Amino acid sequence: MPLTVLSSACRLKPVWRLQRIQAHMMSGHVEPEVLLEKAGRAAVITMNRPKVLNALNLSMIRRIHPQLQKWESDPETDMVIIKAAGGKAFCAGGDIRAVTEAGKVGDSLAQDFFREEYMLNHAIGSYRKPYVAIIDGITMGGGVGLSVHGRFRVATEKTLFAMPETAIGLFPDVGGGYFLPRLRGKLGLFLALTGFRLKGRDVQRAGVATHFVESKKIPELEQRLVGLKSPSDSDVSRLLESFQTQSDLDSDKPFVLDKHTSDIDRLFGSSSMEGILQNLKADGSDFAKKQAEILSRMSPTSLKVTFRQLQAGAALSLQDVLVMEYRLSQACMRGHDFYEGVRAVLIDKDQNPRWSPPSLDQVSDRFVDDCFASLGENDLKF
């Protein structure tokens, strides 16, 4: 259906939808997990697994990455738009249940998924044509990797952003070690360690999104983007800014962390993970107590690894960060906490992970060093 639908077509939509469903059932047709289409001179990627919040799996990565490369060298393609079907999620993360199942039995998916996902993240970060991610819904983990490294990221009031990996014994990967320390002050470290959720306009205010556009205006925005002729980055930017100007929803509300910004910079400004917890416990404010309680539930190993990841990533290129993060991913696959976190949060859902080691002081510097060690011939290569 075209982006602009006549009122008569709207009245026919329920009948047309029923016919599509009946045809689908009769044919046994399986919907593609990701749609790769051209609309004029724009290429459009649509995440198409709405029933699982558009979770990213290896087969989707293997469809998106080579097509992105083709479009980049195609003179008939001017820009790429990535969006999602379903209206609830852009992409709620990677298909990590499949990854942990693979890790338990020594299947190569435990290496292939992270390697190929990170290579896709790098391709997006170095893309030579305008890349517009419309993150209209839940955007976490793998969904962040598909969007945040692109030149333009458009949030709506339905956007929910988080990097919740420390709660499952992982770390904020997909280039989190690159973009998080580049947010203002200690905001990125705070988001990485606590998994704090940003919503709507706050995703743009934090610097994760570049623009904010009300969800009801997205169809028109897509139509206008597709209509641009040989657009430069500045052409796309001007169009997005014009739509942002028309979107005044929640513009009068302050940034959710406004009153805590100086506290975050002070409390999370320590030179060690232990120092941050000491700061929080010594502070005594309600905000500090709440953060200390949240961090007490996270994997101690993940907290220490994440702290060092962002510390190192602040001075590295995206490519070098992804090499580092691949090493960390494989350390997680060799370890205990990732499997235990996925069990407690996603499988049994008892929300009671038994971390090993169970406390920060038992996670030695040597153990953390080993997580960052080169994998030799198995290192990620671009």
Domains of the chain: 30-378 (3.90.226.10)
pLDDT tens sequence across 88-134: 999 999 999 999 999 999 999 999 999 999 999 999 999 999 999 99
Q: Which residues contact 206 (CB under 8 A, 6 or more apart)?
A: 161, 183, 187, 191, 198, 255, 257
How many Å apart are CA 130 and CA 121, to the nearest integer?
Answer: 15
For the chain, the maximum distance between any two Cα atoms, rounded to a whole number of angstroms, is: 68
- 29: pLDDT confidence band, cut at 50, 70 and 90? low
Is the four-CA dihedral 140, 206, 372, 112 of positive or negative sign?
Answer: positive
Task: Kindly report, residue by residue over 273-326, the tens digit of the pLDDT.
Answer: 999 999 999 999 999 999 999 999 999 999 999 999 999 999 999 999 999 999
Contacts of 195 (CB under 8 A, 6+ apart): 162, 163, 164, 165, 166, 167, 294, 298
Those residues whose C-beta lies under 8 Å from the C-beta of residue 364, and which sit 6 or more positions away, are: none
Q: What is the CA radius of gyration of the chain?
A: 21
Q: Is the dihedral of CA 100, 323, 142, 63 positive or negative?
A: negative
Give the dihedral of Cα atoms 23, 27, 33, 35; nearest 10 deg: -60
Q: How many residues does the chain have?
A: 382
Residues sharing a CB contact under 8 Å with residue 1, sequence separation 6 or more, in sequence order: 9
Rounded Cα–Cα distance for residues 174 and 219 (Å): 28
pLDDT-based confidence at residue 148 (cuts at 50, 70, 90): very high
Give 43's strand partners. 38, 80
pLDDT at 278: 98
Helix (H, G, I), strand (E, B) or coil at 43: strand
What does DSSP assign to residue 376? G
Using DSSP, how many helices (H) and how many strands (E) does the chain show? 17, 10
Give the pLDDT confidence score for residue 286 in this predicted structure. 97
Q: Average of pLDDT values for 4-15?
A: 39
Give the residue among 284, 258, 231 at the shortest CA–CA distance from 43. 231
| Res 10: pLDDT | 40
Residue percentage of the chain with pLDDT more than 90: 90
CA 20 to CA 116: how far, in whole Å?
A: 34
Place of tokens 């998916």: 109
CA distance 207 to 184: 8
- Give the residue numbers marked as catalytic: 94, 142, 165, 173
Model confidence at 69, pLDDT cuts 50, 70, 90, reads very high
Mean pLDDT across the chain, nearest whole number? Answer: 93
d(CA 136, CA 132): 12
Question: Could you give the C-alpha distances from 11 to 16, 17, 246, 247, in angstroms and in order?
Answer: 10, 11, 29, 28
344 secondary structure, DSSP code = I
pLDDT band for position 248 (cuts 50, 70, 90): confident
Provide mean pLDDT across the span 326-345. 98
Q: What is the mean pLDDT of residues 243-272?
A: 94
Give start and end residues of each alpha helix (H) in the chain: 7-27, 58-73, 96-105, 109-125, 142-145, 176-179, 187-194, 201-205, 218-227, 233-246, 261-267, 273-283, 286-297, 300-313, 318-334, 337-342, 365-371
Sheet hosting strand 131-135, strand order edge to edge: 34-39, 42-47, 79-84, 131-135, 152-155, 211-212
Q: pLDDT band at 251, cuts 50/70/90?
A: confident
Residue 266 has pLDDT above 60, yes or no: yes
Give the model's pLDDT for residue 250.
80
